[in-house]
Structure 1
C-alpha cells in the first residue's frame, strides 16, 4: 500500500486534533523536495514533513529535528512571507485522491484577513506543493515550476490560475450507499472489475477489496472492508521477496507476512521511511563531496594501474642489460647505417638475438644506451614502489570517506566536507564558517545487552577525536580488519565474550563490509593505537590485537542504538 487516497484519508484523522487551529510558527526547506511546517498549539510544537520526492512522495508528522540550509530557497521565503504566523483553519482531502489542501487565515499588509491554500499533490513524479489565494485561485508560488511545454494539462507557474490535475474517474467507496453498490454490481459481475471502479485505491487495496467481494459479493462485505479504516493503525508487512510495505489495516487476501504493528501511524511512517529518506537527503547534501571523492578514486585507480605497469617494465629490464653486454662484445660486427643486428645470445645457447640500433650513434654509444636504460629502470623500482604505496594509501583514505558518506546522516556531511577542505581537495568558500568542535553528541551511541556503552565515530575527524581524546587508554578499541570503517570504542577494559561479539558486530555494520556475511574485526586496548606523524585523518596503526569474525545484523544492531 503506497500513499494512495485511502491511506491519506486514514492519515488525516491523526492530524485533525493535533494541528488544526494551530499557528504555523516555522517553515523550512532542508532539502530540494522537502518542506517542514512547524505548528504551535497548546504550548506544543508539532512538525509536519511534506516531501514531493518523485520515488516516494509522502506527508506525516515527525519528531526528528532536521538542520536548515545556510541559505533559504526562494519557495520557502515566499511561504514565510505569506504563511508564517497564520492559523491553520482546516485540512481537506480532494475526494479520495492524493491531494490535501491546507486552509490558512492570515492578515495582509493592509490588515485585511486573507485565506490562502497550500495544496499538497502526492502524485509520483508529478508531486508538487502549491500556494494559491483561496478567493482568486491565483497561484502565488509552487515548489516545482513547470514549463508549459512539459505539462500541457495545466499551467503551473506563479500568477496562473490554480486548477486541479487530471483525476482518474471513480466512485467514493467511503460514502457509497447500498443502492449505488447494487447498481455497480449489476454492471460488474466480476469483483475485480468492481474494485477498479472505486477511486483512491492502489493495486494492493484493489486486490484486498476484490478478495473480500470474492468471499461474499455483498454490500455488508464491502462495508466490512472500509470499516477497518475507522481506527487507523500501522502494519508493516513483507512480500515473498522481503520488500517492506506499510498499511493502515491488516490485509488478509494478499501474500504478505506481518513484520510489526504500531498504533502510532505517524511514528511508523517516520521509521518506515527513515532509511530511504536519510539516503536521499545525504545524496542531495553530499553531491559535491561525493563527486570529489569519486573523481579522486578514479584518478588514483588509474595512477596505480599506470605505476604497476611501469614497475613491471622496470622489473623486466634485464633484457636491456643483456643487449648492452652482447652488443659490447661484438662491436666489430656493427657497420655504419645499420638499424638492427642479430647477434648470438650466450645466455640462451647462442640463439640469435635481434638488437635495435640508432643509426646516429656509434656502436659503443648504442651499447651504452642499453646500459643507461637498464640502470634507469632498475633505479626507478624503489621510487615507483614508493609512489604505488602513497597512491594506495590515498585510495584507502578516499574509500574510508566514501564509507563515511554511505553511513552518514545529513548533519554529518558538513564535517566530511570540512575534512576534505582541510586536506586541500575542496576549495573553501570565501566566507567559511568556523568548524564546529566534535563532541560526544556527534557520535553514534549504543547500549549493549550488558548495559555497557559503545561509541562510534561517523567520519575521520570524529574517529580521531574518539580514539585519541575521548577514549580512556584502558577502553577497548575496535575496527574492521584492512577495510575502511568507523573507529569503535567500548567503554570497558575487561569486556566479556558477549560484549566483544556485540561491539564487533557494530564495528562491522559501520564499515564498507556492512553487507558481508563474514567480517573480520580487530580489537585492542586503546593505548596500543597510534597515529603516525603526517598521517591523514582517521589513519592509525596498532599492535597486539585480537580478532573475531562476525555477521552484522542490521535490525539487531540498530535496536541497541541510543537516540
Structure 2
C-alpha cells in the first residue's frame, strides 16, 4: 500500500478560512464583544455574547451564549477559531494593542464577517450606534491575516485607516506593505503566477478549464529532455508499473472518476501535478492540490509533463468540484491522525499524532496504513482541539523552562552531595580502627623506634582460646615517636567520630532537599496556567534557589490566589502563596481535594483534612496530595478509584497507562523531617492501580 508523505498538512488555508467564516456567520452575527484579552504574545481573544435566535424554517431556536473567539498570528500556529473555554492569560499586563482594541471594540456588535476571495484573510466588521437616538453607526474592521510568519492582526477604522496592529511592519521591513498606525491599510499583494517571465493573476479554481491547466503545464519550466508527450505517472491498484497509457477516443465523455481510474503510470518526471495546481490556482494549498490530483488519478504524488486532454478534463472537473464548496457550504471537516500502537496493539496504548485536516473529505488518506480519518463536528472544534492547546503549551513552556533549568541544576547538586556524603560515611566507619592502632602504639611504645614507616604489633585487646593474639600492622610517620604517632591517630579517630555523628543528619537533610526539588520539578511540569507557574516560581524563590532580581509578577500571584472568576473561593482557606486547591465531587457525592503544588499539598493534607479522611498519593513519584472528605461516612471503592486517578494524573507518572497509588487515613501522614511544604512520610497504606486518563472525565464534569 502506498505510504503517505511524512510532511504535516496542519496549516490554515483559504478553503479552511471559508469554512470558518461560514460557521462564524451562523454563530456570531449580532454578537456583542464584551471582553478582550491577550492569551499569548501572538494571540487575541474576544468574548462575544450572541443573543438568542428564533427558529427559522423549522430549525431549532438558539439561546443566548457566550463564545470566545481566538485569533492568533503565531509564526507557526497562526489561525482563527471559536474555543469552548476561556483562554488562559499569559501576559499579566494588557499591552497597548489590547488596550486599543478594548477602547474601540468592547461593546460593539459584529455586523459582518468577510473573506476576500481565495485569500487567507478574515475581516470582522463591528460597530455600535453613535448615540441611543441616532441610527448612524461607528464601525471598525478587525483584520486577521493568516500567512505563516507574516501573520498579523490589524485594527482599522471604517475608512481603512490603520489604528494599530499586533505586529508593527515598518518600511525597513516591507516597502510594499507598511503596517503602522495612521496610514491606509493595504491588503496583501494579489496572488500571481509566473508565465514566460511575466506575472499574471492566478486562475480561479471555480472556473478553471482543462485548456488552462494544459497551457500551465506547457509553460512550466521543465528541461526539454524530460518532456514526454501524453504520459503521466500514476500508481494505481491493479495496474502494472510502467505500462504505457492507452487512451479511448471517447474517454473524455466519461465521468472524470472513470477517466481517473483508467490512468496508468509510465515515467516519473517533473513537475508533479499538485505542484502545478498549487502554483497556478488562487488559494490552492498543497493539501487541496493533492486531494484534487488523488481524486483524478488515485495518486496524490502523480507527476506529469504534457498530459492527454482527458487528464486535464478530469483534473479540472475535480478542482471545480472541490472549489464549489466555497458557495455550496457543504463542509465536511475531517482530521487525519497517525496511530502508533503499543506492543499489545491496543487502542488504549496508542500514540496519536495529527497529520492533516481540511473542511472537506480527505480521500487521499482513506486507505493508508497507520492512519485514521475522523469526521469532526465543525472546523472550529477541530482547530480548537488541536491548535489552541499547542500554542498555550508553547507559551507556558517559555515560562517553565528557566524554572526547570534551575531545579535540574539543584537536583544534580543534591545527587553529587549524596554521593560525597555516602563516601564520607563509609570512611567514618574506620574510626574504631584508628583508635585501636593508637592504643596499640601506646601499649607497645617501648618496642617502637622513631624513624620507622610501619610496625607489626600484637593486638593485646583481642585473642582466641589458645591465647593467640592477631597481628595488626600500624603505619607510622617516621618524624614522630610512638606517642606522637598515637596522638595523630587519636586526632583522626575523634574527627571521624564527629563526622559519624553529623553525616547521617546531613544525609537525611539532603534526602529531604532532593525530595523537595523533585516535587518542585513536578509542580513545574503540572502547572497548567501562567498563574500556576508563578506560584511554583514563588516557592522556588522561597527555597533560595532563585537569587538576584528574578522578580515575581505580583499581579499574577494575586490573581492566582483567587478562586474562579477572580473572586476568592467561598469558604476555602487560601494558603499563603499557594493558590486555591482543586475541589471536585466524586460520582458517589464525596468531596475531593487536590493539591496541585507543594503549598496546596500542605494545605489539603494538614489544614483541610481531618484524621478520618482518606489521603492518596502516587507511589514513589512526586505528585499531588488527594483528600477524600469522609464526613462520617464509609468511603466506597469507586470513590477511591476516582481519587486515585486524580493522584495519578497530577503526578510525575501522568504519561503512564497504569500508576500505583497509595492510600491511607490522614492520621497516618506526617511531615518529613527537614522537608519543605507538602513533603510527608506515611504508613499503614494500601495500594491501588489507577489510569491517569480516567481523571480527565472527572475534571471535565
Superposed pair shares fold, TM > 0.5 = yes
The alpha-carbon distance between structure 1 residues 500 and 236, as it changes in their structure 2 partners (threshold 3 A), is farther
Secondary structure of 1:223's aligned partner? helix
The alpha-carbon distance between structure 1 residues 259 and 314, as it changes in their structure 2 partners (threshold 3 A), is farther
Pair 1:63 & 2:84 matched: yes
* C-alpha contact 2:205 2:282 (8 A) present in aligned 1: no
Aligned counterpart, 2:36: 27
- Gaps of at least 5 residues in structure 1 are 336-340
Alignment of 1:170-181 (within 5 A): 175-179=205-209, 181=210
Deviation at 1:547, TM superposition (A): 1.2
Secondary structure of 2:27's aligned partner? helix
Aligned counterpart, 2:700: 562
Q: What TM-score, normalized to structure 2?
A: 0.66
Pair 1:416 & 2:573 matched: no
* C-alpha contact 1:24 1:84 (8 A) present in aligned 2: yes
Secondary structure of 1:196's aligned partner? helix
- Gaps of at least 5 residues in structure 2 are 1-9, 52-63, 194-200, 218-231, 233-271, 299-310, 341-351, 460-469, 563-567, 574-579
Aligned length: 550
Which stretch shifts more, 186-195 or 144-153?
Answer: 144-153
What is the CA–CA distance in structure 2 between the aligned matches of 1:58 and 1:355, rounded to whole Å? 80
Pair 1:486 & 2:615 matched: no
The alpha-carbon distance between structure 1 residues 56 and 447, as it changes in their structure 2 partners (threshold 3 A), is farther
What is the CA–CA distance in structure 2 between the aligned matches of 1:316 and 1:123, rounded to whole Å? 72
* C-alpha contact 1:483 1:511 (8 A) present in aligned 2: yes
The alpha-carbon distance between structure 1 residues 295 and 135, as it changes in their structure 2 partners (threshold 3 A), is farther
Cα offsets for 1:207-237 (capped at 9, x unmatched): 3222112158244433333456623344333
C-alpha RMSD of matched pairs (Å):
4.4
Aligned counterpart, 1:231: 330
Deviation at 1:18, TM superposition (A): 3.0
* C-alpha contact 1:520 1:549 (8 A) present in aligned 2: yes
Alignment of 1:295-374 (within 5 A): 295-315=409-429, 333-335=449-451, 342-344=453-455, 364-365=483-484, 367-374=486-493
Aligned counterpart, 2:654: 514
Deviation at 1:103, TM superposition (A): 3.7
Deviation at 1:187, TM superposition (A): 3.6
What is the CA–CA distance in structure 1 between the aligned matches of 2:14 and 2:456, rounded to whole Å? 86
Aligned counterpart, 1:243: 353
Pair 1:378 & 2:480 matched: no
Pair 1:100 & 2:119 matched: no
Secondary structure of 1:243's aligned partner? strand
What is the CA–CA distance in structure 2 between the aligned matches of 1:168 and 1:353, rounded to whole Å? 93
Equivalent of 2:148 in 121, 124, 132: 124
Alignment of 1:164-563 (within 5 A): 164=187, 169=192, 175-179=205-209, 181-188=210-217, 191-197=273-279, 198-215=281-298, 217-227=314-324, 230-241=329-340, 242-245=352-355, 246-254=357-365, 255=368, 257-258=371-372, 260-273=374-387, 275-286=389-400, 290=404, 293-315=407-429, 333-335=449-451, 342-344=453-455, 364-365=483-484, 367-410=486-529, 411-417=531-537, 419-420=539-540, 433=558, 435-436=561-562, 439=572, 442-443=581-582, 445=584, 447=586, 454-471=592-609, 473-490=611-628, 494=634, 500-531=640-671, 536-550=676-690, 552=691, 554=693, 556-563=694-701
Cα offsets for 1:456-496 (capped at 9, x unmatched): 33223333333345556544332111211112234666556
Deviation at 1:511, TM superposition (A): 0.8
What is the CA–CA distance in structure 2 between the aligned matches of 1:306 and 1:163, rounded to whole Å? 67
Secondary structure of 1:64's aligned partner? coil
What is the CA–CA distance in structure 2 between the aligned matches of 1:367 and 1:59, rounded to whole Å? 83
The alpha-carbon distance between structure 1 residues 303 and 172, as it changes in their structure 2 partners (threshold 3 A), is farther
Q: What TM-score, normalized to structure 1?
A: 0.80
Which stretch shifts more, 27-36 or 196-205?
Answer: 196-205
The alpha-carbon distance between structure 1 residues 496 and 327, as it changes in their structure 2 partners (threshold 3 A), is same
Deviation at 1:514, TM superposition (A): 1.6
What is the CA–CA distance in structure 1 between the aligned matches of 2:80 and 2:296, rounded to whole Å? 31
What is the CA–CA distance in structure 1 between the aligned matches of 2:493 and 2:639, rounded to whole Å? 58
Aligned counterpart, 1:38: 47
The alpha-carbon distance between structure 1 residues 24 and 496, as it changes in their structure 2 partners (threshold 3 A), is closer
Pair 1:91 & 2:231 matched: no
Secondary structure of 1:253's aligned partner? helix
Deviation at 1:247, TM superposition (A): 3.3
